[in-house]
Amino acid sequence: MRLAVAGATGRTGSEVVAEARDRDHAVVALSRDPDEGEHDLADLDAALDAADALVDFTVPEATPDHAAAAADAGVPYVVGTTGLDDEAEAALDAAAGTVPVLAASNFAKGVQALLRVVRAGVEALPEYDAELTETHHDGKRDAPSGTAVSLLDAIDEARGEALDRTYGREGDHLREAAEVGVHVRRAGTVRGEHEVLLAGDDEVLTLTHRAESRRVFAAGAVDAAERLADREAGRYDFTDVL
């Protein structure tokens, strides 16, 4: 297939380009400052004319334009960008009226497994205190990570209540039972680590995922693009195509 990649020169988009080419897909590498062999993102509509899907690892503010372009071109839209606001989510819903749209905070299959085991752990230990820690490279803009938000939502679902998300801790306060601590670290070139800790009386359960390479995200995103090719228009979750 012919994959258009927005963010093709970025940390993750460049891995998507490499993964797609390793699978013998043709790639339309989109860039705001195109080099030879790359396509100008300003001409996205023209670039999508010959594409079979758009894969996006850019910035949240670009999502509405990219979603509209994918819908206009009639191509599936795979979104890895995180930190999406209500406007971006509404644009995804609008595009899903015309094409398949799949947005995932984390395209690593191991994180999908982590989400399942976190739900099972919280259901088994509903009275245990939950704390989340995420660590990413020093170039990451958004905090907490999109994956952390997905994990927090999974904890809430398993607990059957919306826990009070306490971002960091300082001062003189006792922990409330209905809290979940959220701790964010930004350092070095860390590709992505997420830990959920469940602590009760005299025992702790720690569930952790660590990405060793961005290639794991790229593989999941290309899998998603391949599997959306014959789907009807609508919103899809990564688990729908695993």
Q: Could you tell me if 149 and 111 are in contact, meaning their C-beta atoms sit under 8 angstroms apart?
A: no
**Please, which residue, 82 or 98, has the CB nearer to ligand LLHOTIJI?**
82
Among 194, 217, 222, 226, binds ligand NAD (CB under 6 A): 217
Query: For residue 15, how far is the Cα from the chain centroid?
Result: 15
Does residue 140 carry a catalytic annotation? yes
Three-state SS sequence of 39-61: EEHHHHHHHHCCCCEEEECCCHH
Q: Single out the residue of 180, 208, 213 nearest to residue 194, CA to CA.
A: 208
Total interface residues for ligand LLHOTIJI by CB under 6 A: 9
Site string for ligand LLHOTIJI, 171-210 (x = CB under 6 A): ---------------------x------------------
Q: Single out the residue of 52, 98, 107, 51 nearest to residue 79, CA to CA.
A: 107
The verdict on whether residue 110 carries a ligand-binding annotation is no
Partner from ligand NAD, ligand LLHOTIJI, none binding residue 9, C-beta < 5-8 Å depending on class: ligand NAD
Residue type, 204: V
- Site for ligand LLHOTIJI contains 81 (CB under 6 A): no
- Site for ligand LLHOTIJI contains 112 (CB under 6 A): no
179-186 and 129-136 strand pairing: parallel
Task: Point out the catalytic residue in the list 39, 136, 194, 209.
Answer: 136
- 48-78 in b/e form (b: 16+ CB < 10 A) is beebbbbbbbbbbebbbebbbbbbebebbbb
Does residue 39 carry a catalytic annotation? no
- Residues lying near ligand NAD in the complex (CB under 6 A) are found at 7, 9-13, 32, 41, 57-59, 61-62, 80-83, 104-107, 142, 146, 217
The residues binding ligand LLHOTIJI (CB under 6 A) are 82, 105-106, 136, 140, 145-147, 192
